[in-house]
Structure 1
Amino acid sequence: MRIARYLNIAFAAVLAAGAAHAELAGDAETGKELFDVCSGCHEIGNGAQDSIGPHLNGLFGRRAATHEGFAYSKSMQRAGVDGLTWTFETLDAYIANPLALVSKTRMSFPGLDDSQERADLMAYLRMFSDNPSNIPEAEPTARGTDHDVDPAILALQGDPEYGEYLSTECLTCHQSDGSAQGIPSITRWPEENFVVAMHAYKNKLRRHPVMQMMAGRLSNEEIASLAAYFKDLE
């Protein structure tokens, strides 16, 4: 009895702390209007079906590429195997720049820059997942920290010769000729996409422990140099 009472008190304290620190996720009505941008490929709500993209009912808390019956890209399937799960933070990053989380995703959407618009859109999407009444106090809807890569980092001009020197470890897994062989190619990747992806690993948004470790060792300048090298690698 004492243990149960203690657990109840502790659980109540956690809920209170979460409610005190949570920020508003966004306005679902505004998000409904913003969803028009998504509706060309995705359906949501009662009777929603898969289209060009999967329907988005039950999205929050779901592992990427696990909605049965939809033919996901290999890149999205790989992200799911690596542990990518759709929470407020990861979905925020994906909507801002799909390539930040999933290289070579088939989704043609270029990204939504405005953080408030993303929050509004996610508040709408969250209505069609389990227990929407917990907005915004509980995961996965509570706002996380900003994931955006600093424009100053994106503006860094990397040294391709230094990048070649650093590339040895990369090429123990990735193929220099651009072939995949079970591991995604990074050859001739646009520099910004390379940098954004590496910082997503660095900030643990991409869920691959080896890549998180590798990216965590690299400075901003080293990442820029690797991007400059692989961009033009023949």
Structure 2
Amino acid sequence: MRVASLFKIALAVLFAASASHAAEAGDPEKGKIVYSKCKGCHQIGEGAVDRIGPHLNAVFGRRAAAHDGFAYSKSMQRAGVDGLIWTAKTLDAYIENPRALVSKTRMSFRGMDDPEDRANLLAYLRAFSDDPSNLPEAEPTARGTDHDLDPEILALQGDPDYGEYLSSECVTCHQADGSAEGIPSITQWPEEDFVVAMHAYKRKLRPHPVMQMMAGRLNDEEIAALAAFFKDLQ
């Protein structure tokens, strides 16, 4: 089906919804205006191609970093392997503060504070995905985490020797040599990124159930120690 036809059908479905549902889903016509903030890097619609950022057709329901042919950052690739799926909730978190959800993302956009603008933008983007009437999507599997983590936790100085002692369970899955064959590498991760990620698992903001269980066993000092060990692991 042509994308233009799909968009027309999407608009009809969205405007046929109840007033309360429309408020929740956002207004795609207003979202088209908000999209002007995105179009310098992203194209959408019929004939859209990758530019500085990937095109945004069919982004809903897609795993992060799964669009073939685009060179994603390592952080975005890790998020995809970790299980991040683009839904209304996760896209909302990413648009609000990109680096809070995917640290070290190459997207230079600072974020969009206004929740109504985000809802409208998402309604517009949703019209270019496979099933635009399917709103809202499932509960989010990841949310922003960087900026609400206690600074005292980030300031902890971990003991790398203790981290090495604790790392035996980590390296049963993550390769100590830094290779990433289906499982993302954690070797030479910046300490802050490591700590933020592990606390996101503890709080079940990141989706991997095994990592949630593993992180849940660790206290703040142990996480800091692991971060210090893996930061300098060659």
User: TM-score, length-normalised on structure 1?
Assistant: 0.63
Q: CA deviation at 1:152?
A: 4.3
After TM superposition, the structure 1 = structure 2 runs for residues 31-110 of structure 1, keeping only pairs within 5 Å, are: 31-67=31-67, 69-73=68-72, 80=80, 83-95=83-95, 96-98=97-99, 100-101=101-102, 107-109=106-108
CA distance in 2, matches of 1:23, 1:196: 33
Partner of residue 136, structure 2: 139
Partner of residue 7, structure 1: none
Aligned length in residues: 208
CA distance in 2, matches of 1:25, 1:143: 14
Q: CA deviation at 1:160?
A: 1.2
Partner of residue 144, structure 2: 148
Q: Percent identity between the aligned chains?
A: 59
Q: CA deviation at 1:99?
A: 7.2
- 1:214 match: secondary structure: helix
- 2:54 match: secondary structure: coil
CA distance in 2, matches of 1:113, 1:190: 26
Q: CA deviation at 1:56?
A: 0.8
Q: CA deviation at 1:87?
A: 0.8
Q: CA deviation at 1:126?
A: 1.9
Cα deviation 1:122-164 (Å, max 9, x = unaligned): 2332232245456xxx322x88699333634344122311544
CA distance in 2, matches of 1:88, 1:78: 20
CA distance in 2, matches of 1:198, 1:22: 37
- Please give the root-mean-square deviation of Cα atoms over the aligned residues, in Å: 4.0
Q: Where has structure 1 moved over 6 Å in runs of 4 or more?
A: 19-23
Q: Is the 8 A contact 2:141 2:207 kept in 1?
A: no
